[in-house]
Amino acid sequence: MADATAADDTLPEATGNKARLARVYAEALLASATHAQLADTIGDELRGVAEGVLKPNPQIVAFFDSAAISRSAKLPILAKAFEHGSSDLFKKFLGVLNQNGRLGLLRDISVTYHSLRDAQANRVRVKVRSAAPLNEAQTESLRSTLATTLKQEPILDVKVEPELLGGLVVQIGDRVYDTSVRSRLETLRTHLMTSGRHVL
């Protein structure tokens, strides 16, 4: 499953009219993917453009957003840029966005598409912060535990943060489960300070 290996959480979700338009295009794109493998491939392609191309290259974002550059002028540049290694559906989708003057929505569409695809596939994105790298056995144990608890397929995004000292911080949506040593030390420190004030 191509799309089930990384979390698409580095881009903020759009709001207002942009969010509505991004959802319309994301839903249409997902509906056009005729099978699960293609749906995940499209997700990978969206992420590749959103995070690998647009995020580090503001000049390309400006090019996509520019009303001064005609859609006909953008078309051959898009065709050349995505000539190789892109699915026909993705290239066609970029053409539709260009035709409608909506290339500037690509990053927002990427975020919305992945949210929709995860719901469709019964997946959930899980952010994991660990004091040290997790080995394969630890990763699989965590994945299995989360799958049993959540009744969904967890997609882990693991980041190493040595300042945690030990343990894990697991975030699922707005829920945060902090078992790190740093958190326990801070809790103990707070308790001792509170106890001290009571004694005084």
pTM (2 d.p.): 0.76
Domain containing 42 — which CATH number? Answer: 1.10.520.20
**What does the DSSP 8-state code read for residue 178?**
E
Boundary residue ending a domain (82, 103, 119): 119
Same domain, 21 and 92: yes
3 domain residue, yes or no: no
Is 109 contained in some domain? yes
User: How many domains is the chain partitioned into structurally?
Assistant: 2
pLDDT tens per residue across span 182-199: 888 888 888 788 765 544
Structural domain includes residue 1: no
CA distance 122 to 157: 17
Provide the residue range defining the domain that includes 147. 124-199
- Identify which of 8, 2, 6 has the alpha carbon closest to the alpha carbon of residue 115: 8
Q: Which of 72, 89, 119 is the last residue of a domain?
A: 119
pLDDT digits (tens, 9 = 90+) for 152-193: 999 999 999 999 999 899 999 889 999 898 888 888 888 788
Q: Could you tell me if 108 and 195 lie in one domain?
A: no
pLDDT digits 0-9 by tens, 93-126: 999 999 999 999 999 999 999 999 999 999 999 9
Domain co-membership, 148 together with 182:
yes
CATH number at residue 130: 3.40.30
Which of helix, strand or coil describes residue 182? Answer: helix
